[in-house]
Structure 1
Amino acid sequence: MTVTVLVPVYNEMDVLPECCRRLHDVAEARAEDFEFLFVDDGSSDGSAEWLLALRERDPRVAVIELSRNFGKEIAVSAGLDHASGDAVMLLDADLQDPPELIPDFLAAWQEGYDIVYGQRLSREGETWLKIRTSHWYYRVINLLSDVPIPADAGDFRLLSRRAVEAVKGLREKHRYMSGLYAWIGFPQKALPYHRHPRHAGRTKWNYWRLWSLALEGITSFSTVPLKLATLLGVVTAGAAFLYGVFFLLRTLLFGNPVPGYPSLIVVMLFLGGVQLICLGIIGEYLGRTYVESKQRQLYYLRGLHPRRESEQDG
């Protein structure tokens, strides 16, 4: 059996040597034929050059170079498009997800599970705010989504060949990979583990990128926000109608005193805020529909360097 270890890379020169060393140790202890597929997502720190040099020394290494930085979700998709293994193991280069757990994923796969995902029990080295917002996000998206998305699970997972082929058939431009893995179905199993701190370097995920990813997940797998916007509009219109009836009755019974200026400003600002929120929700969905309608390619390659089969066969 061939196992492809898929590693997206973006300016990870600080961690690549240690990552490759630990992957090599795991592969040496196993009977499966391992392929290490690195997808360089437009790195500018020499990561691609280092990986190409490694490929000259290790015939198990394959390198895909994207034409620019497309983002991690697209880099993973490009790797899945070119992965040839019977099973594909997704792993981040920063070593927060330990490669030494790969045998546990393979054991679960051999039990008959098509997707085995790592479920984080702890997240050492991350801030309290990031941990709590991540916890809340998974609970919110599962309240909104029709497809249950495993909580506290990232890209650390193994996919069988038929799961890979299923994901490859989903070509939407705005991609939330954790949701796509859940959407395709097939038998899935959680593998609890403790996440390690980053081995070296700095994370590429700032709060703005995390917020954008959260919006991708919600808008890709739920139309509940649109329904909530409609409900908010109905409730606001109903409240305005009742408020108007109240003023009508008060005028008929007690005369027409000069209305208060502060209450008028509050009502105007409230209604304006509701309208902007609803327009923003509609805009998020409309923008994604616009992008999908252009039918652009997911990515372009600057270079494709498969594993050197000739040396492997020799």
Structure 2
Amino acid sequence: MPQLTIVVPAYNESAVLKSFHRRLQQVLDELPLDCNVLYVDDGSRDDTWSIIESLIALDSRTGAIKLSRNFGKEAALTAGLDAVTADAAVVIDADLQDPPELIPALVEQWQAGYDVVYATRSAREGETPFKRFTAAAFYRSMERLSDTAIPRDTGDFRLLSRRALDALGQLRERQRFMKGLFSWIGYRQTSVRYLREPREAGTTKWNYWRLAQLAIEGITSFSTAPLRLATWVGVGAAGFAFVYGLWVLIHALLYGDPVRGYPTLILVILFLGGVQLLALGVIGEYLGRNYAESKQRPLYFVEEQHLPRRQP
């Protein structure tokens, strides 16, 4: 019988874990597959791990990995996917915004021959208009900037076949943007649309600062457009300065050179200084990524591990 592992990264999700596991069990009971669940505790500071241990004791299909500290969701996802030995894996968050009841639809597309089946949000319930606007702007910006086609309005909720998992396991870069990596590996991919529900319990761990950092991570991981933009801004500023300097020279030759233009001079200096600092910031962002990669540190460390027990 084909095997399926559900990988669930969790960070301070004690308020919702039991409800999530109950709904997930009901779904897995109906699937004609050998299913198990693998939780990844990303250094939670509440009682998430103790709840996971209780779930392991009650359900033989459940396993877990506890990381030594909070490495971030991308690393936690990587740790979970590295441990999968099944024929396919589904990645899903524990907050119940992504419904476990959609998993059979993902499995159906996998059995039809697709290697990556991602869940695309048709609507985002329970989020502010500003959050929906920024999310839409990010996905559409990535669509234009990246050479890799990253699906719109699509998170980490998806199914990966065995060969997609093997391909993903070869990508060991330290600065990880998983949504881009899922697309970059290629193979046959398709989508299943769904309505994203509000979080059932607990609070989101993604404030606007962390979302902005993730956006920068995505753009710098899959596009050199910011570097090209800095180049063209520099070329434009140099061209403007040359034309303006030529005009000043001609004006001085024809009409003399009264001492004027101090505000204009200050404005030009501030503008060019701002452009230079912007370009240095963009270069620094890419240089920092190269520095992090050159150290070759492990992506994560495991403190404790309980793999799911095989079903008879």
TM tier, smaller: over 0.9
After TM superposition, give the deviation of residue 143 of structure 1 in Å: 1.0
Alignment of 1:97-112 (within 5 A): 97-112=98-113
For 2:72, give the aligned amino acid. G
Other structure's SS at 1:28 match: helix
Q: Does the aligned pair in 2 maintain the 1:167–1:181 contact within 8 Å? A: yes
Q: Does the aligned pair in 2 maintain the 1:39–1:65 contact within 8 Å? A: yes
After TM superposition, give the deviation of residue 163 of structure 1 in Å: 0.3
For 1:84, give the aligned amino acid. T
Q: Does the aligned pair in 2 maintain the 1:5–1:36 contact within 8 Å? A: yes
Other structure's SS at 1:143 match: helix
* Residue correspondences, number: 311
TM-score, structure 1 as length reference: 0.98
Equivalence for 2:79: 78
Q: Does 1:257 align with 2:270?
A: no
Alignment of 1:1-314 (within 5 A): 1-309=2-310, 312-313=311-312
After TM superposition, give the deviation of residue 215 of structure 1 in Å: 0.7
For 1:247, give the aligned amino acid. V
After TM superposition, give the deviation of residue 261 of structure 1 in Å: 2.1
Other structure's SS at 1:298 match: coil
After TM superposition, give the deviation of residue 207 of structure 1 in Å: 0.6
For 1:229, give the aligned amino acid. A
Query: What residue ranges of structure 1 are gaps of 5+ in the alignment?
Result: none
Runs (4+) of structure 1 exceeding 4 A deviation are none
* Structure-1 separation of matches of 2:168 and 2:210: 23
* Structure-2 separation of matches of 1:54 and 1:228: 51
* Structure-1 separation of matches of 2:263 and 2:140: 39
Q: Deviations over 1:233-271 (max 9, x none)?
A: 111111111111111001000000112222111111111
Other structure's SS at 1:121 match: strand
* Structure-2 separation of matches of 1:132 and 1:62: 37
Query: What residue ranges of structure 2 are gaps of 5+ in the alignment?
Result: none
Q: Does the aligned pair in 2 maintain the 1:109–1:160 contact within 8 Å? A: yes
Q: Does the aligned pair in 2 maintain the 1:6–1:89 contact within 8 Å? A: yes
Other structure's SS at 1:267 match: helix
Other structure's SS at 2:98 match: coil
After TM superposition, give the deviation of residue 5 of structure 1 in Å: 0.5
Q: Deviations over 1:166-224 (max 9, x none)?
A: 11110000000010011100000011111000000100000111111111111111111
* Structure-2 separation of matches of 1:107 and 1:33: 15
For 1:276, give the aligned amino acid. L
* Structure-2 separation of matches of 1:273 and 1:72: 34
For 1:207, give the aligned amino acid. Y
* Structure-2 separation of matches of 1:303 and 1:274: 49
Other structure's SS at 2:210 match: helix
TM-score, structure 2 as length reference: 0.98
For 1:254, give the aligned amino acid. Y
* Structure-2 separation of matches of 1:23 and 1:298: 28
After TM superposition, give the deviation of residue 103 of structure 1 in Å: 0.5
* Structure-1 separation of matches of 2:149 and 2:47: 39
Q: Deviations over 1:148-177 (max 9, x none)?
A: 110100011000010011111100000000
Q: Does the aligned pair in 2 maintain the 1:35–1:85 contact within 8 Å? A: no
Q: Name the % identity.
A: 56
